[in-house]
Amino acid sequence: MSRRYFGTDGVRGRVGEAPITPDFVMRLGYAAGKVLCGLDLHLSEGTHPAVLIGKDTRISGYMLESALQAGLSAAGVDILLTGPMPTPAVAYLTRALRAQAGIVISASHNPFEDNGIKFFSADGSKLPDAIEQRIEAALEQPMQVRTSAQLGKARRINDAAGRYIEFCKSTFPNAFDLRGLRIVVDCAHGAAYHIAPHVFHELGAEVVPIGVQPDGLNINDGCGSMDPRSMCRAVLEHKADLGIAFDGDGDRVVMADSRGQLLDGDQLLYIIAVHRHRNGTLQGGVVGTLMTNLGFEHALDRLGIPFARAKVGDRYVLEMMNANRWMLGGENSGHIICLDKHTSGDGIIAALQVLAAMRDTGEPLHQLVADITLYPQVLINVAVQKRFDLEGNAAIQAEVKAAETALGGSGRVLLRPSGTEPKVRVMVEGQQQQLVTAWANRIADAVRAAAC
Residues annotated as catalytic (active site), given as ranges: 108
CB 327 within 8 A of CB 74: no
Distances (CA, A) of 148 to 81, 145, 154: 21, 9, 14
Using CA atoms, how far apart are residues 196 and 178, in angstroms rounded to an integer? Answer: 14
Per DSSP, helices labelled H in 140-218 are 160-170, 196-202
* Strand, coil or helix: 23: helix
Task: Tell me which residue of 71, 58, 60 sits closest to 16, measured CA to CA.
Answer: 60
CB 184 within 8 A of CB 208: yes
Using CA atoms, how far apart are residues 75 and 29, in angstroms rounded to an integer? Answer: 8
Residue 444: what residue type? A
Contacts of 373 (CB under 8 A, 6+ apart): 295, 299
3-state helix, strand, coil in the chain (%, to 5): 40, 20, 40
Burial 304-316 (b: 16+ CB within 10 A, else e): ebebbebebbbbb
Using CA atoms, how far apart are residues 92 and 444, in angstroms rounded to an integer? Answer: 40
Using CA atoms, how far apart are residues 343 and 336, in angstroms rounded to an integer? Answer: 11
Cβ atoms within 10 Å of 194's Cβ, excluding its own = 17
